Amino acid sequence: MIKKTIVLLTLLTMNFMAIANSMQGQPAPSFNLQDQSGNQHQLSDYQGQWLVVYFYPKNDTTGCTIEAKAFRDHYEKLQHMNTAVLGVSLDDAESHKAFISKYDLPFNLLVDANKSMSRDYGVDGGMAFFSYAKRQTFIIDPQGMIARHFEEVNPSTHVPQVLEALNALQSKSAKAAKASDVQVTEQTEDWRVYGAPWPQEGLAEQPLQEVLAEAEQAAGETRMMSGRITRVCQKKGCWMILADGDEFVRVDFNDHAFLIPKDASGQAHVYGQLVARELTAEQIAHFESEGAKGLKGKQYEIIADSVKILN
């Protein structure tokens, strides 16, 4: 009996120590689960608002109770921030009902009895004879993207961290919303500039092929790079593909700091930094849904401060 207990505790400890790959920046996996009252919940139900999904191991245990009560005590503030809260564990509906009743929890708890949602979010833990959801939290934005993934959670201090992250994310989102219209910064008969004003220090413009030929040395340096626009994000105009010969890179407009017309084409100059980036399969699929083609897992991108499109 003692040996079995030691083995169980060892496996449990190893599971808690294992750190999953962060899902931050990826589309949130869809789900379709019932809550404590048998009502169905889907990710699409929360489109247009922020959503906190917190996974926890078991109802009415010390850490899970501390965490649930903290979400309860800050729930009114979360509502004012247009944020819904869902707790998820492998417990059954009756256990959820009792837990909610005992601590007067104002939010729903989802029943993930077959671990489908836990697996999709990478938080399923334990072994066949002892399963649980790892204690991790996801903040999902109104567009259904995982804006923040908390992989290590201290129940006593976690909810203030969630509130702090939400404040920062919503502030950033509000700034992006102000820039939701395409705005020309400067223009002449020959060109239009989007983003920051075009620099006047007289840096030489380099063809993209030349920059990529010395990519390791060029990475991280601010440069002026030239090429032709072959594709623009068809949802917002928040990125483009810059090509030169057979070479091409995705140009990110500094995390939606500015937009360009979705029908933009022709020759362009970009002021920004070349960076190495590793894309996940989910990120590639997301960009492809916006019109990108031919992206690779490992590649270079340009983070642009401004874009000059020639007329």
Q: Decide which of 276 and 172 is more confident.
A: 276
Does 238 qualify as catalytic in the annotation?
A: no
d(CA 193, CA 191): 7
Long-range contacts, stretch 278-283, CB < 8 angstroms, 24+ apart: 280/26, 282/26, 282/27, 283/25, 283/26
Task: Please report the beta strands in 115-190, taking only residues with DSSP state E, as ranges in sequence order.
Answer: 124-127, 130-133, 136-140, 146-150, 184-187
Q: Decide which of 20 and 97 is more confident.
A: 97
Buried b (16+ CB within 10 A) or exposed e, 227-252: bbbebbbeebbbbbbbbbeebbbbbb
Residue 120 has, within 13 A of its CA and on its CB side, a CA count of 18
φ, ψ at 32 (rounded to 5°): -150, 90
Helix axes 62-73, 93-103, angle to 10 degrees: 60
**What Å distances lie between residue 219 and 80, 211, 238, 275, CA to CA?**
42, 9, 22, 5
User: What residue ranges do the domains of the chain occupy?
Assistant: 2-178, 184-310
Question: What confidence score (pLDDT) does residue 291 get?
Answer: 64
Which is the catalytic residue, given 64, 85, 90, 229? Answer: 64
- 185-232 pLDDT tens trace: 899 989 999 988 888 766 788 999 999 999 888 888 888 999 999 999
Token pair in block for residue 191: 């060109």
Is 2-178 in CATH node 3.40.30.10?
yes
What are the beta bridge partners of residue 193? 186, 308
Is 184-310 in CATH node 2.40.50.140?
yes
Q: What does DSSP say about strands 124-127 and 130-133: parallel, antiparallel, or unpaired? A: antiparallel
Question: What confidence score (pLDDT) does residue 134 get?
Answer: 96
Task: Please report the beta strands in the chain, taking only residues with DSSP state E, as ranges in sequence order.
Answer: 32-34, 40-42, 50-55, 83-89, 108-111, 124-127, 130-133, 136-140, 146-150, 184-187, 191-195, 205-207, 222-232, 239-244, 247-252, 266-278, 298-310
pTM higher than the cut 0.85 = no
Band (pLDDT 50/70/90 cuts) for residue 261 is: very high
How many CB atoms sit inside 10 A of residue 108's CB?
A: 19
Identify residue 152 by its one-letter amino acid code: E
d(CA 256, CA 108): 34
Q: Decide which of 257 and 122 is more confident.
A: 122
d(CA 311, CA 308): 10
- 241-252 pLDDT tens trace: 999 998 888 899
The C-alpha R_g of the chain, in whole angstroms, comes to: 24
Question: What confidence score (pLDDT) does residue 128 get?
Answer: 61
